C-alpha cells in the first residue's frame, strides 16, 4: 500500500509538471479532475463505468501474469470480444434475459479465441507471448474495422460500427439515467472468483507454480505448455467479456473506437494492484477517476486530455520496468 | 529489501509533488486560459465535442473549430473544445458541457447522433447542434449539407475536361452520406454529356492510403482520366497516383486540396462546416429561434467549388462559364441534383 501511495504521489507530481508545461494551472486541474470524477452521483457513476471497463482487462492481465505470461494483448482481446458481442447483439432478436447472457458469453469466447492464438504460439512453438499479443492487437483493430464496414456491415449502421443493439439486450442499469450497469458487480464477482481460484484450487496453484518457478513446476509434473495455453485463453476471455460489457452496457453498439486503450492501461492497473484481484479493484477505481476526470479537466482547467494519457503511459513504463528488473534480480545468479 | 527501498521513495515523491504544486500556484495563473470555467457574464458561450479524429485532422474537426474561432473573433464568444479519446467519451463530454450551461454545444460528426439524442433529452433547457446527422428533437439543430449540389458541378466539370469520356468516383465508405457525392457527380456529368461513363469505386475506409492509391491506379488503367476523390485520408493515396500520371486529374473534397498537387487537382468540392457552425452561433447571438434542421447548399456557401487557381488554363473559360450557369440553375431551383442512387436512376438532364 505504501508503494502504491508513493507511486501515486510521484505520478501526481509528474502530472502537475505536465499541466504547467501545457499552460494550465495544476491546482485548478486537480480540482477539476476530482470534481469531474467524484463531484456528484452522475460523476461517480461515470467513474464507476470507467472502473468497470478497466477492471476486466486488468484482471485478464493479472491472471496471465500470475501464470508467468505477459499479456499485452488485452486491448486486442477486448476489441474482438466487443466485435463478436456487437455483431451478434445487433442481429439477435430474442428476449433480453436470453440475449444478454448469449452476448456476454460470445464476447468472452471471442476474447478467448484471440488470447489462445497467442497461447498456441507459445505452447506449440515457444513463441514469445509479448510479441504475439502485441501484434495481435493491431490485427484485431484492423480486422474489426474491415468486418464492420465490409462483409459484416449491419444494415442501418453508419461509419465503422454495427447497428444499435435492441433495447432489450442492453445491460440493466444500477442507477437511472446513467451508464452504470450490472457489469460492475459482474467484474467485482470475477475478481473474488479469481482470488478464490488462486488461493484455494489446484488449478490456481498450478498456474502460480508455472509462473513463479517454471522449472520446479515442470519437474513436479505440471504441463507448462497446457498451462500457458489455458492461461492465455482465460485471460483473453476476461478481456473479451470486458469488451462485450462496453458494447451491451455503455455504447449499445460496437464501434471500432470503443476503447481509449483500456487494455494497455490495464497493465498499469494490474501492477499497481500487485496482481492481487481484490487490490486491483481499488487500483481500477483510482485509474477510473483519472479516466473520467480527464474529460472535466479539459473543460474546466484547459488541461489537454493527452496529459492523462501521458501519465498513464509513464505509469505503465515505470511499473513494468520495475517488475522486470525485480524478475531479473531474482532469476539471474548474482 | 525492496519494501525498504519503496518506503524510502515515498518522501521524495511527496516533496516533489508539493513543490510542483507550489510552482504551479505561482506560475500557472498566468496562463490566461480563463480557468475555472467562469465566463464573462451575459456573453455568448459556445462549445464543441470532436470525434476521435480530434483537432489537427485537417478536415471536419478543424473546420468546425475554425467556425468557433470566427465566432470568438467576430461575436466575442467564449469557446471551448473537448476532444474524445474513444466512442465512450462522446456522451460524458456532451454531458459535461451541457451541465456547464453553454448557449450552443456542437457535436461534430454523425457518429455522435445517438449520444447527442440522449444528452439532449436529459438537458431539455440546453441547446445542441450536430453535423451530418438529423436528430429530431426540439432543442437540437441538425446541420446537413447539399453535397450533391457541389458534386453535380464537379461532375459537369469532369465530363467536360475528360478526353477519354471515362470519369471515376472514388468514395471512402459506401454509406448514404457518400452516395450523395456519388449521385450528384454522376448526374452532373450526364447533364453536360450523356455519353460519358462514370466508374464508381469505394475504398472501404477513410484511412487506408495504400488502397486508395491502388484503386486509383485501377481506374487510371481503365482509361479514366478524371477522378473525384471523396475518401478522406485514403484519398491522399489516390491523389498521389494521379500526381505521378500525365494527363489525368483529380477533384478534391471537403477542404481546399488544390495545393496538394498543383495543376493536377481541377478543383475541390468544399463542405464548409465552419460556415455552418458560425451560422448557428450567429443565430444564438441574435437570440433568433434556432432552426431544427439547417441544410446548407450552394446559395449559403455551405458547399461550393474552389476557384481553379492552378487549373484555369486546363479547364478553359467556356467550361468555367458553363459550370457557373449550372450553379445559378441549381440555386434558382431549375435543377435538383439527385442524392441517392434511386433518384439518380430517375434523373433526366434538364434543358436550360
| Domain membership flag for residue B208 | yes
Co-location of B96 and B199 in the same domain: no
Are B92 and A299 in contact (CB < 8 Å)?
A: no
Co-location of B246 and B292 in the same domain: no
Model confidence at B289: pLDDT above 90 = no
Model confidence at B210: pLDDT above 80 = yes
Co-location of B333 and B204 in the same domain: yes
Is ipTM over 0.90?
no
Are A27 and B28 in contact (CB < 8 Å)?
A: yes
More confident residue, B2 or B25: B25
Nearest CA in chain A to B96: A296
B54: confidence class by pLDDT, cuts 50, 70, 90: confident
| Domain membership flag for residue B25 | no
Co-location of B117 and B255 in the same domain: no
Nearest to B24 among A27, A53, A150 (CB): A27
Nearest to A16 among B21, B80, B86 (CB): B21
Are B28 and A26 in contact (CB < 8 Å)?
A: yes
Structurally, chain A folds into a number of domains equal to 1
pLDDT given for residue B24 in this prediction: 62
Are B20 and A145 in contact (CB < 8 Å)?
A: no
Co-location of B164 and B97 in the same domain: no
Q: Domain of residue B69: give its range.
A: 41-145+274-296
Are A177 and B28 in contact (CB < 8 Å)?
A: no
d(CA B248, CA B221): 11
Are A158 and B87 in contact (CB < 8 Å)?
A: no
Model confidence at B27: pLDDT above 70 = no
pLDDT given for residue B2 in this prediction: 41
| Domain membership flag for residue B19 | no
Q: Domain of residue A154: give its range.
A: 2-331
Model confidence at B226: pLDDT above 80 = yes
Co-location of B192 and B91 in the same domain: no
| Domain membership flag for residue B9 | no
Tens of pLDDT along B295-333? 999 998 999 999 999 999 999 999 999 999 999 999 999
Q: For residue A229, what is the domain's CATH number? A: 1.10.3470
Share of chain A above pLDDT 90, in %: 56
Tens of pLDDT along A262-306? 999 999 899 989 899 999 999 999 999 988 888 888 877 888 777
Co-location of B121 and B245 in the same domain: no
pLDDT, mean over chain B: 88
What lies within 8 Å, CB to CB, of A186 at 6+ separation is A241, A245
Q: For residue B84, what is the domain's CATH number? A: 3.40.50.2300
Co-location of B202 and B323 in the same domain: yes
Model confidence at B39: pLDDT above 50 = no
Nearest CA in chain B to A176: B122
Model confidence at B20: pLDDT above 90 = no
Tens of pLDDT along B231-244? 888 899 999 999 99
Structurally, chain B folds into a number of domains equal to 2
Co-location of B174 and B69 in the same domain: no
Co-location of B153 and B255 in the same domain: yes
Are A298 and B34 in contact (CB < 8 Å)?
A: no
pLDDT given for residue A83 in this prediction: 97
| Domain membership flag for residue B96 | yes
> In three state form, how does the secondary structure of chain A look?
CHHHHHHHHHHHHHHHHHHHHCCCCHHHHHHHHHHHHHCCHHHHHHHHHHHHHHHHHHHHHHHHHHCCCCCCCHHHHHHHHHHHHHHHHCCCCCCHHHHHHHHHHHHHHHHHHHHHHHHHHHHHHCCCHHHHHHHHHHHHHHHHHHHHHCCCCCCCCCCCECCCCCHHHCCCECCCCCCCECHHHHHHHHHHHHHHHHHHCHHHHHHHHHHHCHHHHHHCCCCHHHHHHHHHHHHHHHHHHHHHHHHHHHHCCCECCCCCCHHHHHHHHHHHCCCCHHHHHHHHHHHHHHHHHHHHHHHHHCCCCHHHHHHHHHHHHHHHHHHHHHHHHHHCCC
DSSP H helix total and E strand total for chain B: 12, 12
Nearest to B31 among A23, A159, A177 (CB): A23
Nearest to B82 among A2, A250, A299 (CB): A299
Model confidence at B216: pLDDT above 50 = yes
Are A28 and B28 in contact (CB < 8 Å)?
A: yes
Three cell numbers, residue B17: 509533488
Nearest to A5 among B10, B19, B52 (CB): B10
Tens of pLDDT along A222-257? 898 899 999 999 999 999 999 999 999 999 999 988
A42: closest CA of chain B, how far (Å): 10
A161: closest CA of chain B, how far (Å): 9
**A16 Cβ under 8 Å from any chain B Cβ:** yes
SS3 B228: strand
Model confidence at B31: pLDDT above 70 = no
Model confidence at A55: pLDDT above 60 = yes
Distance set, CA A163 to CA A107, A257, B114, B297 (Å):
17, 14, 11, 29
Co-location of B201 and B106 in the same domain: no
Co-location of B61 and B205 in the same domain: no
A13: closest CA of chain B, how far (Å): 4
Tens of pLDDT along B87-116? 899 999 999 899 888 999 999 988 899 899
Nearest CA in chain A to B205: A149
Nearest CA in chain A to B19: A13
| Domain membership flag for residue B242 | yes
Amino acid at each position: 500500500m505504501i508503494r502504491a501511495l508513493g507511486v501515486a504521489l510521484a505520478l501526481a507530481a509528474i502530472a502537475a509538471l505536465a499541466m504547467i508545461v501545457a499552460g494550465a494551472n495544476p491546482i485548478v486541474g486537480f480540482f477539476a479532475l476530482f470534481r469531474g470524477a467524484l463531484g456528484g452521483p452522475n460523476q461517480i457513476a461515470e467513474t464507476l463505468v470507467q472502473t468497470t471497463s478497466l477492471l476486466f482487462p486488468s484482471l485478464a492481465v493479472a491472471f496471465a501474469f500470475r501464470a508467468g505470461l505477459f499479456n499485452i494483448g488485452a486491448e486486442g482481446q477486448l476489441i474482438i470480444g466487443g466485435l463478436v458481442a456487437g455483431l451478434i447483439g445487433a442481429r439477435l432478436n430474442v428476449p433480453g434475459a436470453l440475449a444478454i447472457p448469449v452476448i456476454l458469453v460470445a464476447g468472452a469466447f471471442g476474447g478467448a479465441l484471440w488470447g489462445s492464438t497467442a497461447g498456441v504460439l507459445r505452447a506449440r512453438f515457444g513463441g514469445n507471448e509479448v510479441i504475439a499479443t502485441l501484434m495481435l492487437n493491431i490485427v484485431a483493430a484492423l480486422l474489426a474495422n474491415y468486418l464492420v464496414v465490409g462483409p459484416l456491415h449491419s444494415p442501418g449502421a453508419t461509419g465503422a460500427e454495427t447497428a444499435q443493439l435492441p433495447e432489450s439486450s442492453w445491460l440493466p442499469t444500477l442507477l437511472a439515467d446513467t451508464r452504470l450497469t450490472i457489469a460492475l458487480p459482474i467484474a467485482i464477482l470475477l475478481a473474488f472468483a479469481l482470488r478464490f481460484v488462486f488461493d484455494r484450487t489446484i488449478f490456481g496453484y498450478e498456474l502460480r507454480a508455472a509462473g513463479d518457478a517454471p522449472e520446479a513446476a515442470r519437474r513436479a509434473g505440471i504441463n507448462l505448455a497446457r498451462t500457458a495455453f489455458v492461461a492465455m485463453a482465460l485471460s483473453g476471455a476476461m478481456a473479451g467479456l470486458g469488451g462485450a460489457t462496453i458494447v451491451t452496457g455503455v455504447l449499445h453498439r460496437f464501434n471500432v473506437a470503443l476503447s481509449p486503450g483500456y487494455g494497455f492501461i490495464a497493465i498499469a492497473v494490474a501492477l499497481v494492484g500487485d496482481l492481487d484481484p481484490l487490490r486491483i479493484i481499488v487500483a481500477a477505481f483510482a485509474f477510473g477517476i483519472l479516466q473520467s476526470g480527464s474529460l472535466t479537466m479539459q473543460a474546466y482547467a484547459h488541461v489537454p486530455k493527452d496529459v492523462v494519457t501521458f501519465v498513464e503511459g509513464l505509469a505503465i513504463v515505470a511499473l513494468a520496468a520495475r517488475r522486470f528488473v525485480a524478475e531479473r534480480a531474482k532469476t539471474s545468479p548474482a | 529489501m525492496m519494501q525498504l527501498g519503496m518506503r524510502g521513495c515515498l518522501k521524495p515523491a511527496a516533496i516533489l509533488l508539493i513543490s510542483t504544486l507550489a510552482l504551479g500556484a505561482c506560475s500557472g495563473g498566468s496562463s490566461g486560459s480563463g480557468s475555472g470555467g467562469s465566463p464573462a457574464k451575459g456573453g455568448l458561450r459556445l462549445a464543441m465535442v470532436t470525434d476521435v479524429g480530434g483537432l489537427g485532422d485537417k478536415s471536419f474537426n478543424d473546420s468546425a473549430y475554425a467556425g468557433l474561432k470566427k465566432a470568438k473573433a467576430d461575436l466575442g464568444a467564449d469557446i471551448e473544445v473537448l476532444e474524445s479519446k474513444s466512442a465512450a467519451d462522446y456522451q460524458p463530454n456532451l454531458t459535461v458541457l451541457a451541465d456547464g450551461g453553454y448557449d450552443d454545444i456542437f457535436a461534430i460528426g454523425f457518429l455522435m447522433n445517438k449520444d447527442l439524442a440522449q444528452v439532449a433529452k436529459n438537458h431539455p433547457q440546453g441547446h445542441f447542434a450536430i453535423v451530418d446527422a438529423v436528430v429530431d428533437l426540439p432543442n437540437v439543430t441538425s446541420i446537413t449539407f447539399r453535397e450533391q449540389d457541389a458534386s453535380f458541378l464537379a461532375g459537369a466539370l469532369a465530363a467536360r475536361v475528360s478526353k477519354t469520356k471515362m470519369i471515376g468516383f472514388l468514395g471512402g465508405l459506401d454509406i448514404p452520406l457518400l452516395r450523395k457525392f456519388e449521385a450528384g457527380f454522376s448526374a452532373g456529368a450526364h447533364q453536360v454529356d450523356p455519353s460519358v461513363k462514370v466508374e464508381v469505386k469505394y475504398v472501404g475506409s477513410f484511412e487506408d492510403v495504400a488502397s486508395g492509391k491502388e484503386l486509383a491506379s485501377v481506374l487510371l488503367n481503365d482509361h479514366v482520366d478524371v477522378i473525384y476523390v471523396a475518401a478522406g485520408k485514403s484519398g491522399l493515396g489516390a491523389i498521389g497516383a494521379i500526381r505521378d500520371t500525365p494527363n489525368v486529374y483529380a477533384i478534391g473534397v471537403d477542404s481546399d486540396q488544390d495545393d496538394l498537387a498543383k495543376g493536377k487537382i481541377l478543383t475541390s468540392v468544399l463542405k464548409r462546416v465552419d460556415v455552418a457552425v458560425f451560422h448557428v452561433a450567429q443565430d444564438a447571438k441574435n437570440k433568433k429561434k434556432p432552426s431544427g434542421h439547417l441544410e446548407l447548399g450552394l446559395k449559403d456557401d455551405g458547399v461550393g467549388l474552389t476557384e481553379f487557381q492552378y487549373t484555369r488554363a486546363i479547364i478553359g473559360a467556356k467550361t468555367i462559364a458553363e459550370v457557373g450557369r449550372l450553379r445559378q440553375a441549381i440555386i434558382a431551383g431549375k435543377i435538383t441534383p439527385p442524392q441517392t442512387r434511386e433518384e439518380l436512376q430517375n434523373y433526366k438532364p434538364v434543358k436550360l
